[in-house]
Amino acid sequence: MQVTADSKHVVIIGGGISGLSTAWYLQQTRTTGLNIRYTVLEQSNRWGGKVLTEQVEGVDGVPFVVEAGPDSFLTQKPWALQLAREVGLADHLLGTNDHQRNVYVLNKGKPVVLPDGVLLIVPTKFTPFALSPLISPLGKLRMGLDLLIPPKKDDDDETLADFVRRRLGSEALDKIAEPLMSGIYNAESERQSILATFPRFRQLERDHGSLIRGMLASRRNHSSNGHVSKKRLSAFMSLQNGTQELITALVNHLDGALRLGVQVRQLAPRSDSGYTLTLNNGETLNADLVVMTTPAYTSADLVRSFAPVAANQLAAIRYVSTGTVSLAFHEADIQRPLNGFGVVIPQSEGRPINAITVSSTKFDHRAPEGYALLRVFFGGSRSPESFALDDETLLRVVQDELRTILGIEAVPLFHRIFRWHRANPQYDLDHLERVSQIEASLPEGLFVTGSAYRGVGMPDCVYQAQQTAQQVMTYLNERVIV
């Protein structure tokens, strides 16, 4: 396909972080001589997709800042942080309150602090780990065998559960890896691909023969290089007014056509080149290139008539539904306050909720002085039955859980329930192979990017958007007739 110098119209479907940052990086990488314009189409009446913050009236003009989706982004993957700076939010960045950074794991109904020095799953400090009641003495010995067990010989994928059992044993899987590492992805450890979700651990195993040795080595490297960037960033950052601030600033920096309330119903290749999009209002739109940031199952429907192989692979990416309930209390109402960011709950505990975050401890600017804001996670594969409950019953269940786990008897000052239907893509075994097949089987001029593919976190979405914008530019540069 060749495009003429005056006909470069890129249509981006979906106005979440992936679609908007694709637009931003397209705008940033536009080369002179290529007259590109773009349109972002979003079906709902707001920008941001899963990035959604609600300001709830508080006290003395200080609001509660309630996150419906992400509450922060990882800084080790720097792309969301960089984007925030690019759109003028450097002064609004907000680190976590690291002096209260403890994470608790529910163990036989009681929150037990995760021992200091456990980095996701790997213990790196002997004494706190040895003293912790979270893992039995036998379980600790089994974890220590990681130092002796030879590394996997091939590069094949395996499930997170198989990987952790192989290296550290089943107690480490049950008590730490499952609630933390599968919890982040709302995934099932027995199906979750290690290569798509935690490739670094396989890398550490390969490079050092042991996870513990690998983690200790990377800690040493980190601290010896540390002086370079010693103005320490928190591992997770947010924005003073919530993550949606990033969306608002991003939208304000975009110069393309931005359209809300338009759903793409059909996509069809044109006989000459490019695509025709049919919208819910009957309007048709021509594009030279289309970037789909829609859920994989929606993208599958859009391409099925002309790219059945890609459609089948897209449709095979599973999704689960999750939700959050945010609740506000007077601080004095919390009988057993945690000195930490929250509690993760292993599936083996059999509770109807998955985790609790104390948002007002994790970050400043989340609740007025003297008040606490909590967020409870439910649904997914851990507690699908909770997702099916009506709001009233769900609230009752959540309050029961808060009473049992944190001793909160009081009625919340307010609550907000957010449900994300079929919103969490699952990176099952061999996910990356499937993504490569999708990319290879999509017809010319059609791209997919976003949380369904090579990373679910906001930084991953921003990074993939950068890559996609680059691919779009390369594609156009190679084909344009000047």
Ligand X SMILES: Cc1cc2nc3c(=O)[nH]c(=O)nc-3n(C[C@H](O)[C@H](O)[C@H](O)COP(=O)(O)OP(=O)(O)OC[C@H]3O[C@@H](n4cnc5c(N)ncnc54)[C@H](O)[C@@H]3O)c2cc1C
Instruction: Give the interface with ligand X as residue ranges (CB under 6 A).
Output: 13-19, 41-44, 49-51, 69-73, 263-264, 293-294, 298, 322, 324, 420, 423-424, 450-451, 456-458, 461
Virtual CA dihedral for 210, 212, 213, 215, nearest 10 degrees? 120
Minimum Å gap between C-beta 318 and ligand X is 15
Nearer to ligand X, 23 or 367 (CB): 23
Instruction: Please identify, using beta-carbon distances, which residue of 167 and 382 lies nearer to ligand X.
Output: 382
Q: Shortest approach of ligand X to residue 270 CB, angstroms?
A: 19
**CB-nearer residue toward ligand X: 17 or 435:** 17
* Position 320, amino acid: V
Q: Is 64 exposed, middle or buried (0-12, 13-18, 19+ CB in 10 A)?
A: buried
CB 481 within 8 A of CB 3: yes
Residue type, 26: L
CB of 379 to ligand X, least distance (A): 9
> In angstroms, what is the minimal distance from the CB of 316 to ligand X?
18
CA-to-CA distance for 463 and 451, rounded, in angstroms? 11
Residue 35 neighbours by CB distance under 10 Å: 13
Q: Which of 83, 76, 90 is nearest to 18 (CA)?
A: 83
Q: How far is the CB of 463 from ligand X (least distance, A)?
A: 11
Q: Minimal distance in Å, beta carbon 229 to ligand X?
A: 21
**Residue 236 CB, nearest approach to ligand X (Å):** 7
Residue number of the CB closest to ligand X reads: 49
DSSP line for 222-276: HHHHGGGG-SPPPSEEEETT-THHHHHHHHHH--SEEEES--EEEEEE-SSSSEE
Ranges of beta strands (E only) in 68-115 are 73-74, 93-95, 103-107, 110-113
Contact 87, 462 (CB under 8 A): no
Q: Which residue lies nearer to ligand X by CB, 176 or 277?
A: 277
> Which residue type sits at 298?
T
Q: Looking at beta carbons only, is 132 or 186 nearer to ligand X?
A: 186
Task: Closer to ligand X by CB, 73 or 371: give it.
Answer: 73
- Residue linked to tokens 């906001």: 458
Output the CA torsion sign for 305, 308, 310, 314: positive
- When the beta carbons of 7 and 44 are compared against ligand X, the nearer one is 44
